[in-house]
Structure formats: C-alpha cells, structure tokens
C-alpha cells in the first residue's frame, strides 16, 4: 500500500465521497477507519458530543488544536453558524497538506489552517489573527501538550467567561496532569463524557468538557 495511513484514507475519501458534501466525507472516513485502517479521528460517536456542543453554543470563534487529516475540522465547520471563524492548528506538515485537501473537498474554503506547533501559534493568535476571544477550543493533539497549551490560553487572555474547551482522549491514552490541573485550578466547571475509543470495541475513553469561569 502506498504512502502513509492518512494519505491512503484521503485517496479512499477522494474516490468514494461526494465533493462538497461534509456528511458524505465524514461517513466515508468512518467506513475506512472502522473497516480498513485505524486513524485516530474523533469518530462518529464522540463526534456527536462535539456536534451537540457546537449546536448548543453557536460559537463564533473556534480554535482546533490538532487538525490531523481534517476529519474533525470538517466536523466542526459543518456545525458552525454563519460568520463563524475556525482556526485549525496542525504541526505535522504532511498531515496538514492532507487536511487542507479534505477541508477544500468538503467545500470549506474560509477556514484557516495554521501549520506550526501550538505553543508557537497560541501566543500569536491575538496579534496575527486579530482574535480577542475564543468561544470554543477543541483539543485533539499531543496529550502532553494539553496542560501547557491550556495554561498558555489562560495567559493569552483569549478565554472569557463561558468559553468552552473540549479535550479528546483524556482517559485513553490519557492526560492525567491536565485532569489533575482542571480539578484543582478552580477556573472551570467541568465534566467527563465517557465513551469508547473511536473505531474500537471495548477500549474505554472520554472527553473532558470545560467551561471557563474566569479568575476567581
């Protein structure tokens, strides 16, 4: 089989999904990832939790940490209200190139894909992208980055009262320092949405939903 897993998945999506139809692209990804080759997308079950939160809160500024091959980017973009802005960060250039193609295939040309490590981008969001507040942050990048990036977001002043952070895979492979911090910090109302690991049977995982309360 040629290329990397992400490239093979993209080729499958390209040949089987309907261009300009985000639902078709996500469904085709799900078929590939569940039947052929595992890729750590958020997947359809945990994806529904993400969908619901986006629908409930209608965020106008969204930051995605870890676009990977564009699955979650498309999933977020299709649920956003008109006029919303999505900024997706992916540090791996090869994955970012695939994500870019997937996002365009779905018809979302206005989303901003930033190819750099998150700890370099977060401090520049205000100055480089004129961002004043983030309504919603989705974390699905390196688990060891969850805590430092959360603290960097706090320090950036981009989180306001009611800003939501949704962090995937906090139980498997797990982000124990991140969970310990949110329990102790007093800055968040939070809960864990328990679910199985995407495209798997029997591996327990969960997503952390945080609502920023502001400095007490």
State the catalytic residues.
Answer: 140, 143, 168-169, 198
Q: Please answer whether residues 175 and 150 qualify as being in contact, where contact means their C-beta atoms are separated by less than 8 angstroms.
A: no
Distance of alpha carbon 77 from alpha carbon 145, whole angstroms: 23
Query: Token pair of 156, please?
Result: 């950036």
Distance of alpha carbon 165 from alpha carbon 150, whole angstroms: 9
Nearest to 27 by CA among 6, 7, 11, 13: 13
Q: Is 174 left (phi over 0), alpha (psi -120 to 50) or beta?
A: left
Q: Please answer whether residues 206 and 192 qualify as being in contact, where contact means their C-beta atoms are separated by less than 8 angstroms.
A: yes
Distance of alpha carbon 167 from alpha carbon 216, whole angstroms: 23
How many degrees, rounded to 5, is the angle at CA 209 between CA 164 and CA 179? 115
Q: Which residue is associated with the tokens 């961002």?
A: 131
């Amino acid at each position: 089989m040629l290329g990397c897993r992400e490239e093979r998945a993209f080729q499958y999506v390209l040949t089987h999904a309907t261009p300009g139809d985000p639902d078709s692209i996500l469904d085709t990804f799900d078929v590939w990832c569940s039947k052929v080759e595992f890729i750590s997308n958020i997947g359809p079950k945990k994806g529904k939790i993400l969908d619901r939160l986006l629908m409930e809160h209608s965020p106008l500024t969204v930051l995605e940490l870890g676009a990977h091959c564009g699955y979650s980017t498309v999933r977020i973009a299709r649920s956003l209200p008109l006029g919303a802005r999505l900024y997706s960060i992916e540090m791996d250039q090869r994955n970012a190139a695939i994500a870019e193609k997937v996002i365009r295939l779905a018809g979302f040309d206005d989303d901003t894909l930033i190819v750099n490590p998150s700890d370099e981008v977060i401090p520049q969001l205000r100055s480089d992208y004129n961002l004043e507040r983030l309504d919603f942050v989705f974390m699905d990048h390196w688990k060891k980055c969850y805590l430092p990036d959360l603290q960097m977001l706090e320090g950036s002043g981009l989180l306001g009262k009611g800003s939501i952070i949704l962090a995937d895979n906090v139980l498997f492979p797990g982000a124990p320092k991140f969970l310990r911090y949110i329990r102790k910090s007093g800055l968040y109302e939070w809960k864990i949405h328990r679910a199985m690991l995407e495209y798997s049977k029997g591996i327990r995982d969960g997503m952390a939903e945080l609502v920023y309360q502001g400095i007490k």
